[in-house]
Amino acid sequence: MRLFGLCAAVSVSLSAAAAGAQTAIQAGEWETTEKTVMEGVQPMPASSKKVCLKADEAQLERLLFPTPDEIKQHGCKYEPGAKKAGVLAATLTCPPNDQTPGVTAKAEITYTQTSYQGVGQLEAADKSGTTIKGKSELSGKRLGDCPK
């Protein structure tokens, strides 16, 4: 499940403004792990997946956020945070629709060329105004070259 997933239903890279962010990481096979806890919701087990990043997509955002097309399709807005060396800060805001609640997610991730860790703060609100808050612990590491 991606950083801003919410119980699988809210899973919604980045806008052109984010493309210039200095978040380059090494291409190759990465293992990502996410543990999300939502208020009032049964704890979800940590999820992990392996992702192969090619050289032209070797940016941290590709591991943490939906694709630019997905962001646009859901009417979401991506806002990069203050730029600091080795830290990715960003906010993703998505409006509610008939199937999913609106989501505001803020992330602060510390990273190197071969690993990352950090937290995401989530807030989901449905059309009736019911709000749920949560937190995701995120980590990842490069395993090596992509399998052939």
* pLDDT score of 7 more than 70: no
Count of residues in the chain: 148
pLDDT of residue 43: 81
pTM of the model: 0.79
Nearest-angstrom CA–CA distance, 27 and 145: 8
Please tell me the predicted confidence (pLDDT) of residue 91: 94
Q: Does the structure show a pLDDT above 50 at 8?
A: no
Q: Residue ranges per domain, the chain?
A: 26-143
pLDDT score of 20: 41
Beta bridge partners of 141: 31, 115
Q: Residue type at 38?
A: M
- CA pair distance 40, 36, nearest whole angstrom: 12
What would the pLDDT profile of 99-142 be if each residue is shown by its tens digit? 888 999 999 999 999 999 999 999 998 878 789 999 999 999 99
pLDDT of residue 83: 85
Pair type for strands 77-80 and 47-53: unpaired
Measured distance CA(118)–CA(142) in Å, rounded: 16
For 72: left if phi > 0, alpha if psi spans -120 to 50, otherwise beta; the answer is alpha
What confidence score (pLDDT) does residue 22 get?
Answer: 56
Q: Model confidence over 14-73: pLDDT tens digits?
A: 333 333 445 889 999 999 999 999 998 888 899 999 999 999 989 999 898 888 888 888
**Longest C-alpha distance within the chain, in Å?**
49
